[in-house]
Amino acid sequence: MSRRLTRRQTIAAVGGGMFAGCLGEPQFWDDPPSFDTAGLDTVLDELLPDRSQLIPAAFESAVAAQFVDRVERLLDPIPDPVSESTLPNSAFRKQITTERRAAREQLPTTHADHPPFEFAERFAAARYHAAVAVGTWAVVTTDGDPAAITDGTETIRSRVNQFGDTLPGIATCPAGGAAVYGSIERWLDVAERRTLTGSTTVRDEDDPLRAGRTVGQLERIQSQIEAGQYLQARYLETVDEPQPIDAALHTEVETLADDVEAWKQELYDREEDILFRVPDTEVFFDTQPVDENAPSLRLLSRAVRRTFEDIRFDPVVVEGYEPSHPATALCRTMLALARLSACEKLGTLIEAGEDLFPPDGATVDVARQEAIDSVANAAAADNPLRRWFATQMLPLFEKPEEILAAASATTREIVEAYTAYRWIQLFASETEAVVSTVSDGLGA
Amino acid sequence: MHGNNDLSIFPTIESYSYMSPKRRYFLTGLLSIGGLSGCLHTNQREDERQTDSTDTTGADDDPTVLQSRLSEGEPVVTDTTNESTTPIRSEVITDSAQPDELSIAPGVSDNDRDEIRTFLEETEYTTDTVFITHSRIRSCYRYQIQSISWDETEIRYRYCRELRPPEATCQTETWDSIGLLFRIPAALSSAASLRGTRGSSPCRDSSTTYDQIDATATVEGNTTAVESPDTRRNYSGELP
């Protein structure tokens, strides 16, 4: 990523965009090109890359067993099965049985084949589902008390604050620390800004199903705190020449704020506080030689909307925002900048007439392979920030894989899967530039 | 949790509110029917009741309303005039002869059928009006009727929606029809019709008791998985 962004002729672009949506423009899906399904039958043969390692240490079996034990203890009071005669109202029965099943599905079957952060996320999800199940059961039982299942909101908020005060700690280098602590801080950040700001008090008069979910939300945060503290300790064991990283992260975050400001200048023709408004996709290209609703335009639209949703709701350093968690602010701002760069790249492709419609299944296969290679390279990179980006890219496979695994995917859905793979490859390419720039800034 | 529960003892008639002093005789009569004790919302003192009515305009924030649920999704009450059966969307009953033209769907339980008939027969049509309407709701939910208002031509009511108690047999994916029979303390014209409804979900400050299943839900042991994290180095970064 260049610190100096190419300033687009914004006004001209916006002006050009004004005409793009006029009535009478040809609509792509009115007369789409033909699609040959040849090659689709083997498209999912290549396995997805493993999740990257952020900490060179495993989740110890004895500790994992304690998390599993908590899940089992949560589920233990619930009768198995929950029969209709025991609980006639199927709304309660469904929530209890569905959540119990989800809890067990999240528990890893072996301790060897998952990176420690994946363990932590699985345990948090398992404890969430198990607590929802038993919380709902507690609501409907005479001797049950949903508020007694997990600790209360104030206790957990206090733990979040205390743990947050210890982050970011020491690290081998700022980049490595940002990757590890940024992931842990993210849990606390979401808890503080989303979960714990809503209604998280288990009250008698609440919707009883919601009361069960509230128990689950509190249990999830509790699990994240415990796992986060454990991972922090495990990481510290691997740090040979520890150095504090707080100052370096804050300095780089301020630099990234300048980069975001440069994008703001790029995207808007006014100086006002308008970054929270999703810009029109037309600001990313000067001319639009492709038909309206072409797959490339729809991909850009989705990407822009997602990018600005995250800029608005995530701890991205914009508009004088003072991050309380510098490591996660650095990571989330890098993510936003990489997405913006990828949007610009996609805009360039659109200017070149790229509609991102694959002629056949083999083209989809190639795009998927390139996406896999991109993420695998990031996951295997020495730079920990690239490995962190790999953890963010891996979930992007979920939707296209689901589409292509379906027996009766439509051409339109297959094209959507194809564009998702192309986006992963585009995005991965831009993350390299962002990581390179940030690593230089951190002195890595 | 505390409050009224209807379904374990009274499977389909779900709500029967009564407060008007002039209808005390009616309440007494209904109370003699054993199953109704859990359905009466009598927790509000009469002098607190927010009613405000003239001859044809008024409002009642604790209305007398009978609810009957039918799982087949058909209307509970139909109109049998003109030798045909017409589902009632909403209808105003203004005299004692009119109920004879109504029929109750075959799927309605005998208990509900009796209650509906009694409700219609015991209404004093010189001073009161019965308003019948239908709504649909998911099987595991129910309505709490919060208020009704009326004038010469229009009737409105407000409701909230909440989960039925755990002992109510229901299926999440199915819909039921609900017959609502309001007794409005005013002699309205038959020209009056339903103008609108307003609803919210879930009901706030519900008095429904949900802890009905005789069992425990005690989670043994600590509320945490790990007692304390491995702190071979403390988190401020200082080496031991």
* Min distance B225 CA to chain A CA atoms (Å): 5
Question: Looking at chain A, which residue has its C-alpha nearest residue B8?
Answer: A88
Q: Say what the pLDDT of residue A234 is.
A: 94
Residue A251 burial by Cβ neighbours in a 10 Å radius (0-12, 13-18, 19+): middle
**Contact residues, A window 391-410, toward B, CB-based 8 Å cutoff:** none
Cβ(A97)–Cβ(A82) under 8 Å? yes
Q: Do B213 and A141 touch (CB under 8 A)?
A: yes
Domain count within chain B: 1
What is chain B's mean pLDDT, rounded?
A: 75
Rg (CA), chain A: 24
Contact A148 B218 (CB under 8 A): yes
A140 touches chain B (CB under 8 A): yes
Is residue B164 within 8 Å of A88, Cβ to Cβ?
no
pLDDT at A292: 92
List the 143-172 stretch of B: residues with Cβ below 8 A of A: 162-172
In Å, how far is A91's CA from the nearest CA of chain B? 5
Contact A90 B162 (CB under 8 A): no
Buried b (16+ CB within 10 A) or exposed e, A44-65: eeeeebbbbbbbebbbeeebbe
**Contacting residues of A for B11, CB less than 8 Å apart:** none
> Which residue of B2, B140, B162, B223 is the best one to mutate when testing the A interface, meaning the one whose CB has the most A CBs within 10 A?
B223
| Residue B143 domain-assigned (yes or no) | yes
What are the tokens at A199? Answer: 């209604």
Q: What range defines the domain where residue B131 resides?
A: 21-200
Instruction: Give the B window 217-236 contacts with A, CB below 8 Å.
Output: 217-221, 223-226, 229-233, 235-236
Note the pLDDT tens digit of each residue in B65-95: 999 999 877 899 988 866 777 888 889 999 9
Mutate to test the interface with A, among B69, B224, B227 (most CBs of A within 10 A): B224
pLDDT value at residue A420 = 98
Listed by number, the residues of chain B in 37-96 with a beta carbon closer than 8 Å to a beta carbon of chain A are: none
Chain B's closest residue to A228, CA to CA, is B229
User: Which residues 184-203 of chain B have a CB within 8 Å of chain A?
Assistant: 202
Whether the CB of B212 is below 8 Å from some CB of chain A: the reply is yes
pLDDT of residue B56: 79
For residues B161 and B199, the answer to whether their CB atoms sit within 8 Å is yes
Which residues does chain A have within 8 Å of residue B216's beta carbon, measured at their own beta carbons?
A: 77, 141, 143-144
Asked if the Cβ–Cβ distance from A69 to B225 is below 8 Å, we say yes
Q: Is the CA virtual torsion A79, A85, A91, A92 positive or negative?
A: negative
- The reply to whether B233 falls in a domain is no
Which chain A residue is nearest to residue B234, measuring alpha carbons?
A233
Decide if A157 contacts A128 (C-beta within 8 A): no
Per the CB < 8 Å rule, is A233 touching B223?
Answer: no
Task: Return the pLDDT at A206.
Answer: 62
In a domain, B118, yes or no: yes
Distance from B156 to chain A by nearest Cα, in Å? 26
**A360 touches B: beta carbon within 8 Å:** no
Q: Tell me, letter by letter, the H, E, C secondary structure of chain A.
A: CCCCCCCCCHHHHHHHHHHHCCCCCCEHHHCCCCCECCCHHHCCCCCCCCCCCCCCCCCCHHHHHHHHHHHHHHHCCCCCCCCCCCCCEHHHHHHHHHHHHHHHHHCCCCCCCCCHHHHHHHHHHHHHHHHHHHHHHHHHEEECCHHHCCCCHHHHHHHHHHHHHCCCCEECCHHHHHHHHHHHHHHHHHHHHCHHHCCCCCCCCCCHHHHHHHHHHHHHHHHHHHHHHHHHHHHHHHCCCCEECHHHHHHHHHHHHHHHHHHHHHHCCCCCCCCCCCCCHHHHCCCCCCCECCHHHHHHHHHHHHHHHHHHHCCCCCCCCCCCCHHHHHHHHHHHHHHHHHHHHHHHHHHCCCCCCCCEHHHHHHHHHHHHHHHHHHHCCCCHHHHHHHHHHHHHHHHHHHHHHCCCCCHHHHHHHHHHHHHHHHHHHHHHHHHHHHHHHHCC
Query: Averaged over B7-36, what is the pLDDT?
Result: 33
Q: What is the DSSP letter of B25?
A: H
User: Does residue A88 belong to the interface with chain B, where contact is any CB pair within 8 Å?
Assistant: yes
- CB contact under 8 Å between B170 and A90, yes or no, is yes
Any CB–CB contact under 8 A between A242 and chain B?
yes
Lowest mean pLDDT among B75-84, B100-109, B169-178: B75-84
The shortest C-alpha distance from A441 to chain B (Å) reads 23
Task: Judge whether residue B179 has pLDDT over 80.
Answer: yes
- Cβ-Cβ contacts under 8 Å, A229 against chain B: 229, 235
Residues of B in contact with A207 (CB under 8 A): 162-163, 202
What residue of A is the nearest CA neighbor of B3?
A205
pLDDT computed for residue B27 by the predictor? 29
Of the candidates A66, A166, A208, the beta carbon closest to that of B163 is on A208
Contacts of A140 in chain B (CB under 8 A): 166, 210-213
Per-residue pLDDT band for B206 (boundaries 50, 70, 90) equals confident
Asked whether the beta carbons of residue A87 and residue B166 sit closer than 8 angstroms, the reply is yes
* Cα of A422 to nearest chain B Cα, Å: 39
Q: A207 CB near a chain B CB, below 8 Å? A: yes
Residues of chain A under the 50 pLDDT cut = 1-22
Instruction: Give, rounded to a whole angstrom, the gap between the first and last alpha carbons of chain B.
Output: 51
What would you report as the CA-atom Rg of chain B, rounded to the nearest whole angstrom? 23
ipTM above 0.90, yes or no: no
Q: Decide if B225 and A170 are in contact by the 8 Å CB cutoff.
A: no
List the single best residue of A72, A98, A140 to mutate versus B (max B Cβ within 10 A). A140
Residue B74: inside a domain: yes
Q: Which chain A residues touch B172 with a CB distance below 8 Å?
A: 90-91, 94
Q: Is the pLDDT of residue B23 over 70?
A: no
